Amino acid sequence: MGGLVFAKDGSVRQKPASNKATFTSSKSMVRVRENASEFGAAGSAGKLVRDALRTQIQAASDRYMVSRLSKVMKSIINLDAKSDRGMRQVVAANAASLLGFNFNLGAGLGQSLFSPYTVTPNGATVTLAIPSLNPTVDIAAPTGATHYEILFGVASVNFVAKTYISATVASPLGILPLTGAARTNVSQVATLPAAPTADELVIGVLGMNYYQQINGKFYPLNNNASNPLAVEYTSAVPVTGGGGSGNISYDTNLTGPNDNAQGVTLAASAGDLFKFDALTTGGSAPANMDILVGGAQVASVAYLDRYTGKAFSFTHAGVAHTGAFAATVNF
């Protein structure tokens, strides 16, 4: 009443200013407001990605997926080198670290699908190609499953306009028996209305769904933990790094600035991004390296010079990681 607070003990005191008023106007809260703004932007960007890929995500996600995705989006926001603090946004060209994001930590794609595959862009299309697929050998299905479905989805996300377009996948393979014959040259093509612009990020995901057939009907296994789904393609193009804010992409070996050369000295700085599934370094390599996939640390290597000329591998979700991913290197 009248800005006064009357307590039960009979005392009267001035009503304190609301926390909202302090938050929005206090000079001491400037940094807090800036951080809150960017964390909010990360959450909104993550929701945009989830909405764009909702059809694929709905059957393959864990309880922490939303927060994990927001964390990755915040790391992408941190790469915005043009905007003022508190106003930084997701820039499509900086989003290479989404590659390898696992929507369901309980089911890694590398634990379910063992066939080699490629995801290749061409203008408005993105193509999944699997040269050979033998379900009895190449697919590790959960107990009770009789059939499987390869899930391939592509979407174009515009973080500036806050819009997205989901691609149309032509002739999906559908639900297939786990005891079926081996297939060759399996291909699925996802088509967008137009080739992406500079403000658009194209994301391609690959996953597996499992079913049980009873009396001619297919029933999804009521175990979301068994369905893997991961980002296997992004249109964000890695750029030459070395200064702590670049992205360097390697298909198979992390060998240094000239890619396939063996035994060269690894030249990079904190914050550089690498894509690799084996490691070869020179004798004067950095002392140690942390490897993060989808924003979560999965390995740490000390004294890299010990790996000179030797292959290096690490495990992710309990198995050797074979799919595409982006690794953040911290020295």
Q: What backbone torsions phi and psi does residue 44 show, to the nearest 5 degrees? A: -65, -40
Query: Any idea where the domains of the chain sit in the sequence?
Result: 15-98, 109-234, 247-328
From the CA atom positions of the chain, what is the Rg in Å? 24
DSSP structure class, residue 52? H
What pLDDT shows up at residue 225?
78
| Residues 295-323: tens digit of each pLDDT | 555 555 543 433 333 334 444 444 444 34
Right CATH for 109-234 from 3.40.50, 2.30.29, 1.25.40, 2.60.40 = 2.60.40
Report the distance separating Cα 314 and Cα 321, nearest Å: 7
DSSP string, 243-292: SSS-EEE-SS-B--TTTT-SSPPP---TT-EEE-SSB-B-TT--SEEEEE
- Contact indicator for 79, 91 with CB cutoff of 8 Å: yes
> In whole numbers, what is the pLDDT of the chain averaged over residues?
74
Nearest to 66 by CA among 79, 48, 80, 78: 48
Give the integer Cα–Cα distance in Å for 254 and 233.
Answer: 19
Residues 179-232: tens digit of each pLDDT: 999 999 999 999 999 999 989 999 999 999 999 999 999 999 866 778 999 998
Give the residue among 26, 10, 6 at the shortest CA–CA distance from 18. Answer: 26
CB atoms closer than 10 angstroms to residue 206: 25
pLDDT digits (tens, 9 = 90+) for 64-94: 999 999 998 998 898 888 888 888 999 998 8
